[in-house]
Structure 1
Amino acid sequence: MADKEATVYILDLGEPMADCHNGRTESDLDWSMRYVWDKISTTVAASRKTWTIGVIGLNTDATDNRYARDGLDGYDNISVLQPIGPMTMTSLRELHSIIKPSRSSSGDAISAIVVALKMIEDFTRKLKYKRRIILVTNAESPIDDDSLEDVAQKLNEFNVELVVIGADFDDAEYGFKEEDKSREKATNEKALEKLVSQCDNGVFGTMAQAVEELSIPRVKPVKPFKAYDSLLTLGDPAKYESSALSISVERYFKTKRAPIPSASTVVVRPEHGGPTQNDGDDDVQMGGTEFSGVKHMRTYRINDPDAPGGKRDVDFDELEKGYQYGRTVVPFSESDFSVTKLETKKGFTILGFIPFTSYEPFLNMGESGIIVAKKQNDEAELALSALIHALHELESYAVARYVQKDGAQPQILLLKPNPGIDDSFECLYDVPLPFAEDVRSYQFPPLDKVLTVTGQILTREHRLLPSDDLNEAMSDFVDAMDLSTFAVDEDTGEPAEYAPVDELYNPVIHRMNQAIRARAVHPDRPIEPPAEILLRFSRPPEKLLDKAKPEIDALVEAAELKKVPAKAQGKRYGGRGNSKKDQAKPLSGLDIDSLLGETTARRSATATISPENAIPEFKQALATADDDATIERAVKQMGDIVRKLVADSFADVLYAQAAEKLGVMREELIGLELPGVYNKFVTGLKKSILSGELNGDRREMWFKFVVGGRLGLVTGEESEVSEVEEEEARAVS
């Protein structure tokens, strides 16, 4: 069952909270509300109805609480801003609009705690809840400390956690002390600290630390989830009752992938009738605008000459699934699917054993689990312990077939023994293994030797093999960049791990969560940059780079690294005037034209681009072109090759080759500042494809490889000389 929480926030809205202190440019209220909004928005994002929130205003101009209505003294200027209940986006917006400083400063914080305690008592009764009261104040208002012991006793009786966070409260552990503190604030601060110390479950802290820790991502606590509760078998107990092994076990998830928050598609409601009361999947209000969820409805039509318009609507039940095989759609009925579907039964069976040395870590396929003996089953604990120790002593893993429930897809799991020698916890860890269809084998040339065309094997001197100086320089560089001992332990002063696992956060997930919370609370403000803790390990530390600079310089020198010059942009020829511009010079400084002669340029004017070597010949033709006619002739030949590939392709076999040549043509013509030539060709290519001129229906080539591969018209953003706007390019695509 999900945890139930009841949290009441007591917010000091008194007049002193509107002042700025200790060099801050924002008021104490705005500064403190950073912490409160972060906590509340986190609860809203969790969307758990069992996480309830109530809000009380302290030092409000009005008075609205149960005790004041009953005529009791000491409860003035305390208002219940929101009763305890689920927090929604609508209630968050309403709360945001009323959190403003008042003109009062006579409310009693201890009385506000009593009001919050009564709210929790009435709401939770004797049910199992995690109860919490959070007081946010700067303690500038008078506090009646006569009944501190009674209040603390009542808090302990109902097991309520009291959290008091004050603006500019002294905290020796954090290292903060406010200078020139008023006598009244110092007295009130000590009274609150005394109250917290008398509580069995209390926290007293300064707001500076709370705000600073907001940038630290909060890891979501996850309860153990039982995925399997049955037998782990070795052999078939039904056939071999005397020799088969059968152990009652339970399997829990050890690691679970954290997903990125999903997005929902919404539209602005055409009628705006005030605040939306329904915050479910249908309606929600953000920033004063009401949105409604998008509901999808599909209709299916088939060609029917007898129907009006030549098409007829059909029900979904009349359809069959189809899978594309090339350009052909192969129907796959439910009866066919039932034949191919594997009928499985819930089970966990060990198939065999392999030594530790036969397993490679890269074979891990997903989330890991943990297997323990069934609770309060001594026989199962003894049997599983014997299996675990046998695997450990033989240095072997077990390979098992796992089916979580009837009809589920089977998994092959690798079981690793944990004999509990170091941590006294015996269990089996498991991780999914790939099936044969999941493995893709690729061959790469070796890094330590070179095989020449004559069959000779070179292992020492070759331009592709590292020299001894390079190997030594790389080894020194790796040692110098070692992060395992770069940090310093704050307690002992000894070298420590720079990037421990528990401080490595997924920047995508936590940055997204931070942005969602910020946008929920302040829809009109710009989102702040990512927290430094998320970017800390995205780059090497500056001190380490400075320390390793000699090794880096030595590595650059040994590897003979040179900076690659920027790619030359613009025309590489003189256009119609035949007056050549300066061309990009090679790093060697040699005059290639003088070495090879002028015959290359003369040959390119009449040369034909062959389909077998189209790309190099096309680039060579453009590089040696002296006028527009030569370029247009090369483009026409390349275009004919692209068209022929599309027309001759069996299904989509040759589409990728055509798209590759089209991409080269596009890139080269952009570099020559002739995007119009490419745009003219690609426009004609689309007409030919859509009209069926290229040997049938070739629309897949256009939409998947041209549009999907971003090979459409060249816009003005890609080339300054292009006159095509972005909207026109999208229309053509």
Structure 2
Amino acid sequence: MADKEAVVYIVDVAQSMGDCHNGRTESDLDWSMRYVWDKISTTVAANRKTWTVGVVGLGTDKTSNPQDTEGHPGYESISILQDIAPMTMTSLRDLRSKIKPSHTEGGDAVSAVVVAMYMIQAYTKKLKYNRKIYLVTNGEFPIDDSDGSIDDVSAKLNELGIELIVIGVDFDDAEYGFKEEEKSSVKTNNELVLQQLVDKCKAGVFGTMAEAIEELSTPRIKSVRPFKAYDGLLTLGDPAKYESALSINVERYFKTKRAAAPSASTVTSQVDLGGPSQALDEDTEMGGMEFSGVRQMRSYRINDPDAPGGKRDVAFEDLDKGYQYGRTVVPFNESDFPVTKLETKKQFTILGFIPNSSYEPFFNMGEAGIVVAQRQNEGAELALSALIHALHELESYAVARYVQKDLAQPQLLLLKPNPSIEDSFECLYDVPLPFAEDVRTYQFPPLDKVITVTGHVLKEHRLLPSDDLQQAMDDYVDAMDISKLSADDEGNPVEYAPIDENYNPVIHRINQAIRARAVHPDEPLEPPAPILLRFSKPPEKLIVDAKSEIRSLIEAAEIKKVPAKAQGKRGKKDQVKPLSGLDVDALLGESRRRTTISKDNAIPEFKQALAAATDDATVESSTKQMGEIVRKLIQDSFADMQYAQAAENMRVMRQELVGLEMPALYNKFVTALKKSILSGELNGDRREMWFKYIVEGHLGLITCDECEPSGVTQEVAKEFLKGSSS
């Protein structure tokens, strides 16, 4: 079960927080709320009912807290903006409207801590919770510490087990290297008081806001609790048949798990259509808009001459799965499917052993697990320890068949002992073995020799690197070495890109964008954090230092720039010229010009006709023939059997006419084809050809962005496809 959390954020919203300081263009409150919104939105994204949040406003125009009574002065201008409760998108939206600078000078920060402390005490009682208080303030309003309240507050915080985190706007921090000049005496004294309060707490953090905001760009790694995937016997042999079989009570946990980016849901603005709609939940309300989930409905139709339109709807329950066997469809009823499934029992058994040398690095690509002895079972610990030591001594790994539970798919796992048996912790690591089809073995010719057809071995050849080229490449590889490029705090060389600083930019960028959009639905997204793009390009220093090696490599390899491919001219495509300069068509006697295009070999013959065309009339004639073939395929197609072939012919026609800069021919053809399909001229209802193969296949009008002479804009092309739905 996830840990329970009760967190209260104290946000200083006094009038002074609306000012800008130290060269910033945004107010102290907006700057501070970057940190607070990030923390709160992370809690919302986690979607855990046990992670609760409360918010207290410090320096508010009104006072609203239980401690503000006649006998307890000092709690003025402190308001509870949100009671401790699970955080949702609705409460986040309501909170955004409440966080704004007030017209009050301020309130007592220590008193606000007391209010938050009693909020947590009343909510959590004596249950097990992680309790935290975040205080965000610029410290411009005096704090009253004359009565020794600091000691009482810190003692109560320690008694309740509450961690206090104080983050001040422009607070001095020697470790971070920040010091505000010309600071007021009030702010200086407040920093000392808050520092003393944090020091007296058993769990406390005191820092400056600049460091906190800088750390927001560093992705937070999600820590998860161990998940037990298996609890049972690890066997070697069959204990039911042989007394000598090995049987150990073990537990298996996930060691690594693939992290995936959050998935998206398709929603639409909720409208009243006169019927029931399925809303997602209140958490999908953003920016005053309500969204509804999109339901997908699928209908099945079969050919029926007696039904209206020649089609009849059938229920999903009346369908059977069918598998193609040659040109015949073989039906498979639900009652037949159990025969195809492997009836397995929960099992973890060792099938054999392999030497360490047979282990391949790509085995590590799967999700790894860890196998340990059953807890509080000394016999299992001793038996597993003996197996681990035996594997070490024999330099071997075990291959095991693993079935997590009954009727689950079996897996083959490779069991590897932990690297050092001197460690106090002994275990087996496992990775899934790939199937033979998962491993691609490619054979390449050797790089150091050329073997002729007769079997003669050549050590010198134009395809083999010379000694100068080999040396230049060696120097270049050495110059681009990044293993010792960076340096630590003491100046010692360290690895440039350690694995724990290599973050997945896709996952963390999407999370960053979701949090930003949740808090500020109308503002543009900020660019990705620099730390995510840190290793996307080679270091500039490395490129500068390796310039001489790059030049030497270019000279030794005789690298020359390839000229850009010339664009096709109107009425005639550029011919591909062989390096030898020979006229291949003339040598092969291909002087005959093709004038007709057949249906069986339409695409090659169409390309040949365009390649041999010398005037626009030939291109128009070939295009007309290709268009008639497409129409014939659609008209004679039984259901959709020839739709794919017709669409491929259209794609080639479109591509070739774009290259010839004659888009008008294709646009004229596809406009007429649309009219014929939608009007039913091509032997019945052929709208599936239009919607599925032409619209979804992007075979509509050629726009001026694709070919300048077209004159068709993107809007016209989109409207052309939209108009088909009427």
1:538-549 equivalences in 2 (<5 Å) = 538-549=536-547
Question: Pick from 619, 622, 647: which aligns with 1:631?
Answer: 619
Q: Distance in 2 between matches of 1:706 and 1:444?
A: 41
Q: Distance in 2 between matches of 1:338 and 1:694?
A: 45
Q: Distance in 2 between matches of 1:213 and 1:525?
A: 22
Tell me the equivalent position of 2:343.
Answer: 343
Could you say if the C-alpha distance between residues 644 and 549 of structure 1 is closer, same or farther in structure 2, counting changes exceeding 3 Å? farther
Q: Distance in 1 between matches of 2:9 and 2:476?
A: 54
Could you say if the C-alpha distance between residues 419 and 570 of structure 1 is closer, same or farther in structure 2, counting changes exceeding 3 Å? closer
Q: Distance in 2 between matches of 1:621 and 1:446?
A: 43
Q: Kindly provide the CA deviation profile for residues 621-644 of structure 1, in whole angstroms up to 9, marking residues without a partner as x.
A: 645543113334555677799999
1:529 corresponds to 2:527: yes
1:248-263 equivalences in 2 (<5 Å) = 248-263=249-264
Q: What is the SS of the residue equivalent to 2:544?
A: helix
1:726 corresponds to 2:717: yes
Q: Distance in 1 between matches of 2:42 and 2:700?
A: 44
Q: Kindly provide the CA deviation profile for residues 104-127 of structure 1, in whole angstroms up to 9, marking residues without a partner as x.
A: 124111111011000000101111
1:591-606 equivalences in 2 (<5 Å) = 603=591, 605=593
Q: What is the SS of the residue equivalent to 2:221?
A: coil
Q: Distance in 1 between matches of 2:35 and 2:365?
A: 40
Q: Distance in 2 between matches of 1:449 and 1:636?
A: 54
Q: What is the SS of the residue equivalent to 1:92?
A: helix
- CA shift for structure 1 position 362: 2.5
Could you say if the C-alpha distance between residues 67 and 227 of structure 1 is closer, same or farther in structure 2, counting changes exceeding 3 Å? same
> What is the alpha-carbon root mean square deviation over aligned residues?
4.0
- Report if the CA contact (8 A) 2:571-2:619 is conserved: no
Bigger mean CA offset, 554-563 vs 678-687: 678-687
Could you say if the C-alpha distance between residues 596 and 520 of structure 1 is closer, same or farther in structure 2, counting changes exceeding 3 Å? closer
Q: What is the SS of the residue equivalent to 1:557?
A: helix
1:83 corresponds to 2:83: yes
- CA shift for structure 1 position 422: 6.1
Letter of the 2:244 partner, please give it: S
1:146-157 equivalences in 2 (<5 Å) = 146-157=148-159
1:496 corresponds to 2:494: yes
1:124 corresponds to 2:155: no
Tell me the equivalent position of 2:28.
Answer: 28
Could you say if the C-alpha distance between residues 653 and 730 of structure 1 is closer, same or farther in structure 2, counting changes exceeding 3 Å? closer
- CA shift for structure 1 position 351: 0.9
Tell me the equivalent position of 1:469.
Answer: 468
Could you say if the C-alpha distance between residues 560 and 501 of structure 1 is closer, same or farther in structure 2, counting changes exceeding 3 Å? same
- Report if the CA contact (8 A) 1:283-1:292 is conserved: no
Question: Pick from 177, 180, 183: which aligns with 2:182?
Answer: 180
Q: Distance in 2 between matches of 1:89 and 1:443?
A: 56
Could you say if the C-alpha distance between residues 405 and 691 of structure 1 is closer, same or farther in structure 2, counting changes exceeding 3 Å? farther
- CA shift for structure 1 position 674: 1.2
Q: What is the SS of the residue equivalent to 2:382?
A: helix
Bigger mean CA offset, 708-717 vs 93-102: 708-717
- CA shift for structure 1 position 618: 6.3
- CA shift for structure 1 position 164: 0.1
- CA shift for structure 1 position 461: 4.0
Q: Distance in 2 between matches of 1:422 and 1:644?
A: 78
Bigger mean CA offset, 622-631 vs 403-412: 622-631
Q: Distance in 2 between matches of 1:67 and 1:308?
A: 77
Tell me the equivalent position of 2:665.
Answer: 677
Bigger mean CA offset, 629-638 vs 401-410: 629-638
Tell me the equivalent position of 2:267.
Answer: 266
Q: What is the SS of the residue equivalent to 1:165?
A: strand
Q: Kindly provide the CA deviation profile for residues 392-438 of structure 1, in whole angstroms up to 9, marking residues without a partner as x.
A: 22221111111111111111111111153464432111111123454
- Report if the CA contact (8 A) 1:604-1:625 is conserved: no
Could you say if the C-alpha distance between residues 480 and 279 of structure 1 is closer, same or farther in structure 2, counting changes exceeding 3 Å? farther
Q: Distance in 2 between matches of 1:412 and 1:659?
A: 44
Q: What is the SS of the residue equivalent to 1:537?
A: coil
Tell me the equivalent position of 2:65.
Answer: 65
Letter of the 1:398 partner, please give it: A
Tell me the equivalent position of 2:231.
Answer: 229
1:343-422 equivalences in 2 (<5 Å) = 343-364=343-364, 366-421=366-421
Q: Where do 5+ consecutive residues of structure 2 fail to align?
A: none
Tell me the equivalent position of 1:207.
Answer: 209
Tell me the equivalent position of 1:198.
Answer: 200
Q: Distance in 2 between matches of 1:249 and 1:235?
A: 16
- Report if the CA contact (8 A) 1:715-1:729 is conserved: no
Tell me the equivalent position of 1:559.
Answer: 557
Letter of the 2:502 partner, please give it: L
Letter of the 1:219 partner, please give it: I
Q: Distance in 2 between matches of 1:228 and 1:362?
A: 25
Could you say if the C-alpha distance between residues 311 and 596 of structure 1 is closer, same or farther in structure 2, counting changes exceeding 3 Å? closer
What TM-score do you get using the length of structure 1 for normalisation? 0.87
Tell me the equivalent position of 2:12.
Answer: 12
Q: Distance in 1 between matches of 2:175 and 2:249?
A: 49
- Report if the CA contact (8 A) 1:283-1:291 is conserved: no
Could you say if the C-alpha distance between residues 587 and 467 of structure 1 is closer, same or farther in structure 2, counting changes exceeding 3 Å? farther
Letter of the 2:237 partner, please give it: G
Tell me the equivalent position of 2:245.
Answer: 244
Letter of the 1:265 partner, please give it: T
Q: Distance in 2 between matches of 1:325 and 1:683?
A: 39
Letter of the 2:369 partner, please give it: G
Q: Distance in 2 between matches of 1:331 and 1:426?
A: 53
Tell me the equivalent position of 1:578.
Answer: none
Question: Pick from 530, 550, 567: which aligns with 2:548?
Answer: 550
Q: Kindly tell me the number of residue pairs found equivalent between the two proteins.
A: 715
- CA shift for structure 1 position 445: 5.2
Could you say if the C-alpha distance between residues 18 and 688 of structure 1 is closer, same or farther in structure 2, counting changes exceeding 3 Å? closer
- Report if the CA contact (8 A) 2:232-2:249 is conserved: yes
Could you say if the C-alpha distance between residues 151 and 655 of structure 1 is closer, same or farther in structure 2, counting changes exceeding 3 Å? same
- Report if the CA contact (8 A) 1:659-1:706 is conserved: yes
- Report if the CA contact (8 A) 1:572-1:623 is conserved: no
1:334 corresponds to 2:322: no
Bigger mean CA offset, 292-301 vs 258-267: 292-301
Q: What is the SS of the residue equivalent to 1:222?
A: coil
Bigger mean CA offset, 67-76 vs 617-626: 617-626
- Report if the CA contact (8 A) 1:237-1:244 is conserved: yes
Bigger mean CA offset, 614-623 vs 381-390: 614-623
1:47-66 equivalences in 2 (<5 Å) = 47-66=47-66
- CA shift for structure 1 position 288: 1.1
Q: Distance in 2 between matches of 1:325 and 1:307?
A: 30
Q: Kindly provide the CA deviation profile for residues 203-242 of structure 1, in whole angstroms up to 9, marking residues without a partner as x.
A: 00000000111111111111111111111111111111x2
- Report if the CA contact (8 A) 2:451-2:458 is conserved: no
Letter of the 1:484 partner, please give it: S
Q: What is the SS of the residue equivalent to 1:533?
A: coil
Letter of the 1:518 partner, please give it: A
Q: Distance in 2 between matches of 1:356 and 1:429?
A: 14
Could you say if the C-alpha distance between residues 314 and 658 of structure 1 is closer, same or farther in structure 2, counting changes exceeding 3 Å? closer
- CA shift for structure 1 position 354: 1.1
Letter of the 1:537 partner, please give it: F
- Report if the CA contact (8 A) 1:398-1:416 is conserved: yes
1:292 corresponds to 2:292: yes
Q: Where do 5+ consecutive residues of structure 1 fail to align?
A: 273-277, 575-580
Q: What is the SS of the residue equivalent to 2:115?
A: helix
1:554-703 equivalences in 2 (<5 Å) = 554-571=552-569, 603=591, 605=593, 622=610, 625-632=613-620, 635=623, 663=651, 665-679=653-667
What TM-score do you get using the length of structure 2 for normalisation? 0.88
- Report if the CA contact (8 A) 2:54-2:85 is conserved: yes
